[in-house]
Amino acid sequence: MSIDQSKIRNFCIIAHIDHGKSTLADRIIERTGTLTSREMQAQVLDNMDLERERGITIKSQAVRIIYKANDGEEYIFNLIDTPGHVDFNYEVSRSLAACDGAILVVDAAQGVEAQTLANVYLALDHDLDVMPVINKIDLPSAQPDEVVKEIEDVIGIEAEDAPRISAKTGLNIDQVLEQIVTKIPAPTGDKEAPLQALIFDALYDSYKGVIVFCRIKEGTVKVGDTIRMMATGAQSEVTEVGYFGAGQFIPCDELAAGMVGYLCASIKNVRDTRVGDTVTNADRPCSEPLPGYKKVNPMVYCGMYPADSAKYPDLRDALEKLQINDASLQYEPETSLALGFGFRCGFLGLLHLEIIQERLEREFNLDLVTTAPGVIYKVHKTNGEVMDLTNPSNLPDPSEIEYMEEPVVSAEIMVTSEYVGAIMKLCQERRGVYLSMEYLEETRALIKYDLPLNEIIYDFFDALKSRSRGYASFDYELKGYERSELVKLDILINKEQVDALSFIVFKDSAYERGRKMCEKLKEEIPRHLFEIPIQAAVGGKVIARETVKAMRKDVLAKCYGGDISRKKKLLEKQKEGKKRMRQVGNVEIPQEAFMSVLKLDED
């Protein structure tokens, strides 16, 4: 019954965003008959609704595939899908640790891009064998020969015999399957050794409890075994082991060295499971844990509040469950005068924030109010203390501040030569410091800039795409902190400061941002019976002002003489609207207003 290790291939697919890795994964699954075509939904691996709607891969998914190779033998492929967006590098790293090799998909029309490089380096860091595949050769603009040369020159891996495929039409997928057998190494590891398994993901299921996704490096695990999580020390009995069918969990007898699968155990506290931790046998533990993952620190913070304050415990519960599935999400309770009880949450980037927000709303049925996202600033106080500022409301009095620092990233932008000027202009506007530019080929340049993180978290990616007509790609990593002139911009509505609307901004941009915010809020806040001044202030000094004029008529005025049911309806509607309002002093602010600051740059 036990599986021959030499017949297992554990691999993932890596690529720049949109180069077609999910499509290739689907073709592989389809070609090997893991699913009948009727079961085959468009993009099987992207099984969260959100992913299908956005057409991007967020959570890594795993699937086991049986392939009968040309040598007549049957092989077991464990394919792990990985996300391509820059915010999700962390997820990529987790998937890689469970694999022995990686298929690198490169778009034959686009060639090597920033994330192609970043992902290859991650794979090489994990000692994976990288097998290139040239995709989209059906496109008229495909240049497979050039791309092969580019892979060899820019990345430095052999690509001459890389399969040239169309994941869309299925052309040459057979070559990919054969090369998986010949080019990706079989796993190693001793089945008889003490259990050593790496947790590369986890999921909370309301029936099974915590489901741990793991790669068995050494030993064997089966139902009834008592396991121990090495980092948390939690012990529990295994209730089920199995592998990943397409979109479902398939129980089996045991998981042995070299295999990828899942296990369920009587894990009571979801916090006991930590992605990156090592699972071992409690009675016969291994001597040391596997190297965990690089710990990632959130780069972007915002406040999240339940729209209905009674839902606070539900939000806490939801965040706890999401966190086991997404260890890069961090949160802690906070309170706001305007919004009540909520959480300050940390994310890897703005896309990550949006995804979490949408998952909370859809999967947990919560209605949320989110405050403007910001980065972590370092505040050096006159008394020598250094504080990490994640919430602008906690900024100490200016008299206590010696100076402040903001996070700076090193960015690499790849762009075709005609857009170099436009992209450099964009970077300058965002306070970028030019480092270097080199031409990879005649028509493509790699530009390096240092940029303040807070200038890129909002809409830099969109601006980059629109100014280069989609031809620029972008990757960044945190470089460190640099001293900067920063101020806190406060918003006063009817003379009352609204804590949830405060944010930290570069001194020279304060006026512009303050003015835009006041304009935006004027549009969002409905008229009241009195005039409402909206002011932006820095250190108590007002720098911008707008006014919401007083309302003259009440809602019922226009139904004068109308029938009573219509009046009732209007009053009902008003009541419904009020639920979505936040009372600040004697002004009612719609929830949307708190989000509006996010959208300033789109104007």
Chain residues in the site for ligand GTP (CB under 6 A): 15, 17-23, 55-57, 83-84, 135-136, 138-139, 166-168
CB of 138 to ligand GTP, least distance (A): 5
Q: Is 78 marked as binding a ligand?
A: no
Cβ distance to ligand GTP smaller for residue 377 or 474: 474
Nearest to 498 by CA among 261, 336, 333: 336
CB of 120 to ligand GTP, least distance (A): 14
The H-assigned helical ranges of 108-197 are 114-125, 144-150, 173-183
CB of 32 to ligand GTP, least distance (A): 18
Cβ distance to ligand GTP smaller for residue 107 or 450: 107
Cβ distance to ligand GTP smaller for residue 139 or 542: 139
Pairing of strands 254-256, 340-347: unpaired
Residue 470 vs residues 18, 303, 461, 463, 520: alpha-carbon distances, Å: 12, 32, 10, 10, 29
Q: What are the beta bridge partners of residue 221?
A: 255
CB of 168 to ligand GTP, least distance (A): 3
Q: Is 135 marked as binding a ligand?
A: yes
Cβ distance to ligand GTP smaller for residue 58 or 492: 58
Cβ distance to ligand GTP smaller for residue 20 or 346: 20
Name the CA dihedral angle for 335, 341, 344, 349, rounded to a multiple of 10 degrees: -130
Please say whether the beta carbons of 273 and 212 come within 8 A.
yes
Residue 416 vs residues 319, 443, 581: alpha-carbon distances, Å: 42, 6, 48
Please say whether the beta carbons of 262 and 244 come within 8 A.
yes
Distance between CA 116 and CA 121 in Å, rounded?
Answer: 9
Q: Is 509 marked as binding a ligand?
A: no
CB of 60 to ligand GTP, least distance (A): 11
Distance between CA 509 and CA 401 in Å, rounded?
Answer: 20
CB of 166 to ligand GTP, least distance (A): 4
Q: Is 20 marked as binding a ligand?
A: yes
Cβ distance to ligand GTP smaller for residue 319 or 472: 472
Q: Is 21 marked as binding a ligand?
A: yes
Count Cα atoms within 13 angstroms, Cβ side, for 536: 27
CB of 243 to ligand GTP, least distance (A): 23
Cβ distance to ligand GTP smaller for residue 93 or 280: 93
Residue 200 DSSP symbol: E
Q: Is 558 marked as binding a ligand?
A: no
Please say whether the beta carbons of 381 and 401 come within 8 A.
yes
Q: Is 136 marked as binding a ligand?
A: yes
Binding region: 18-23, 135-138
- Extract the annotated binding site for GTP: 18-23, 135-138
